């Protein structure tokens, strides 16, 4: 009888512990902050973009070298909100309120706490594009790769430079001749490459509306760019139109690293490419 009582008591304690743990780790709808203490917010991936709804709520994060956390402070004022997008496309949304005495000084979030995704995650997009290889696209890509000169756009992160050398529109497809230069002392392993049509930044706010572009074919996409070397490759995208208020967002993610690169292409870059000959 005592054994049964002890067993029931252990089960009761475990159930209560699980309930308390779940409540403690439940993502809050409202986060409180003040102007004399820091509140840290940790996310499952480095922060790509964040914006608050009012100037008296300030959320700071590293824009040059993306990190997994940001710091929140607030002055007394109206209730506001915070939107955060991490580099995996997860969208987080919170209500912000000022309070002199804070209930918590740090919060940890997972992908399950996101209210949505900026765009569906496209795993192994480049590998899938390689599988769609055709002799026709391969020959054209090699031709445009050899003749590309100059540079239309570049973006550098921690010694790694992503360039768009040329953009060629030919036979209802866009051929993007790209280049990865690794001037750091560590090899760079590209993992995932994504393209989106997104709304251009307007003031301090930016629309989260994006349209993913399918990669039809990837030619000579490098598995590893050694330190001090440069590799060129071609990405083939389907025909698209780009209004003046839109831009192409290119995101390259590093495998087992945080040297992720985001590069923007405007309408003038698309029009500044070469003619397909």
What is the structure's pLDDT at 94?
92
Whether residue 132 is found in the same domain as residue 107 = no
User: Confidence class of residue 132 from pLDDT cuts 50, 70 and 90?
Assistant: low
User: Confidence class of residue 24 from pLDDT cuts 50, 70 and 90?
Assistant: very low
What is the structure's pLDDT at 86?
87
Whether residue 82 is found in the same domain as residue 135 = no
Whether residue 245 is found in the same domain as residue 109 = no
| Residue where one domain finishes, among candidates 63, 98, 117 | 117
Q: Is 52 part of a structural domain of the chain?
A: yes
What is the structure's pLDDT at 204?
47
Average pLDDT on 65-72 reads: 91
Residue 18 clears pLDDT 50, i.e. is over it: no
Q: Is 11 part of a structural domain of the chain?
A: no
Pairing of strands 30-33, 90-98: parallel
Whether residue 80 is found in the same domain as residue 36 = yes
Q: Which residue has the tokens 């409202």?
A: 30
pTM score > 0.85 for this model?
A: no
Average pLDDT on 164-188 reads: 94
Residue 277 clears pLDDT 90, i.e. is over it: no
User: Confidence class of residue 182 from pLDDT cuts 50, 70 and 90?
Assistant: very high
| Residue where one domain finishes, among candidates 59, 91, 117 | 117
User: Confidence class of residue 100 from pLDDT cuts 50, 70 and 90?
Assistant: very high
What is the structure's pLDDT at 274?
75
Q: Is 165 part of a structural domain of the chain?
A: yes
Q: Is 202 part of a structural domain of the chain?
A: yes
Which H or E run contains 76? none
User: Confidence class of residue 127 from pLDDT cuts 50, 70 and 90?
Assistant: low
| Residue where one domain finishes, among candidates 84, 117, 150 | 117
Q: Is 2 part of a structural domain of the chain?
A: no
What is the structure's pLDDT at 109?
92
CA nearest neighbour of 246 among 198, 195, 206, 174: 198
Alpha-carbon torsion angle 179, 183, 186, 191, nearest 10 = -20
CA pair distance 110, 86, nearest whole angstrom: 11
Whether residue 155 is found in the same domain as residue 219 = yes
Whether residue 104 is found in the same domain as residue 178 = no
139-145 CB contacts, 8 Å cutoff, 24+ apart: 140/170, 140/171, 140/175, 141/175, 141/217, 141/219, 141/220, 141/234, 141/236, 142/219, 142/234, 144/168, 144/170, 144/175, 144/177, 144/234, 144/274, 144/276, 145/177, 145/219, 145/220, 145/232, 145/233, 145/234
Three-class SS of residue 11? helix
202-211 CB contacts, 8 Å cutoff, 24+ apart: 204/51, 205/51, 206/49, 206/51, 208/83, 208/85, 208/91, 208/118, 210/118, 210/119, 210/249, 211/119
Span 255-269, pLDDT tens digits:
888 899 999 999 888
Span 199-253, pLDDT tens digits:
776 554 444 467 888 888 999 999 999 999 999 999 999 988 888 888 999 999 9
**Residue that wins the pLDDT comparison between 191 and 235:** 235
CA pair distance 198, 211, nearest whole angstrom: 6
Contact between 264 and 153 (Cβ < 8 Å):
yes
Residue 114 clears pLDDT 60, i.e. is over it: yes
> How far is the first Cα of the chain from the last one, in angstroms, to the nearest whole number?
89
Looking at every residue in the chain, the average pLDDT score rounds to 82
Whether residue 68 is found in the same domain as residue 203 = no
- Bridge partner list, 221: none
CA pair distance 243, 272, nearest whole angstrom: 15
Structural domains counted in the chain: 2
Span 1-14, pLDDT tens digits:
555 445 445 444 44
Whether residue 33 is found in the same domain as residue 169 = no
Whether residue 62 is found in the same domain as residue 133 = no
Q: Which residues form the domain of 209?
A: 125-271
Whether residue 129 is found in the same domain as residue 263 = yes
Q: Is 19 part of a structural domain of the chain?
A: no
CA pair distance 97, 108, nearest whole angstrom: 18
Residue 35 clears pLDDT 90, i.e. is over it: yes
What is the structure's pLDDT at 23?
40
Which H or E run contains 67? none
What is the structure's pLDDT at 208?
46
CA pair distance 248, 252, nearest whole angstrom: 13
Q: Is 17 part of a structural domain of the chain?
A: no
Residue 37: C-alpha distances to residues 84, 100, 103, 133, 239 (Å): 21, 9, 12, 55, 51
Whether residue 67 is found in the same domain as residue 186 = no
What is the structure's pLDDT at 198?
82
Instruction: Dig out the tokens for 229 from the structure.
Output: 């070397």
Whether residue 143 is found in the same domain as residue 68 = no
Q: Is 103 part of a structural domain of the chain?
A: yes
Q: Please tell me the least confidently modeled range out of 4-13, 111-120, 135-144.
A: 4-13
163: CATH: 2.60.40
């Amino acid at each position: 009888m005592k054994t049964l009582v002890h067993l029931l008591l252990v089960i009761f304690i475990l159930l209560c512990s699980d309930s308390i743990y779940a409540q403690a780790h439940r993502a809050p709808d409202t986060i409180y902050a003040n102007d004399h203490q820091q509140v840290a917010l940790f996310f499952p991936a480095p922060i790509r973009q964040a914006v608050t709804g009012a100037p008296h709520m300030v959320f700071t994060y590293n824009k040059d070298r993306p990190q997994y956390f940001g710091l929140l402070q607030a002055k007394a004022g109206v209730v506001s909100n915070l939107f955060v997008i991490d580099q995996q496309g997860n969208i987080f949304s919170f209500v912000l309120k000022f309070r002199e005495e804070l209930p918590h000084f740090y919060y940890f979030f997972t992908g399950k706490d996101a209210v949505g995704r900026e765009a569906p995650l496209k795993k192994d997009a480049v590998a899938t594009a390689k599988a769609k290889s055709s002799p026709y696209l391969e020959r054209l890509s090699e031709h445009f790769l050899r003749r590309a000169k100059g540079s239309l756009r570049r973006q550098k992160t921690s010694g790694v430079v992503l360039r768009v050398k040329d953009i060629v529109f030919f036979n209802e497809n866009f051929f993007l001749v790209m280049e990865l230069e690794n001037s750091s002392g560590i090899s760079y392993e590209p993992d995932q490459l994504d393209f989106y049509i997104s709304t251009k930044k307007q003031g301090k706010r930016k629309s989260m509306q994006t349209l993913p572009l399918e990669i039809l074919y990837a030619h000579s996409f490098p598995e590893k760019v050694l330190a001090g070397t440069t590799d060129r490759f071609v990405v083939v995208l389907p025909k698209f139109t780009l209004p003046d208020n839109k831009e192409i967002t290119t995101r390259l993610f590093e495998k087992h690293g945080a040297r992720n690169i985001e590069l923007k292409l405007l309408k003038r870059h698309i029009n500044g490419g070469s003619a397909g000959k």
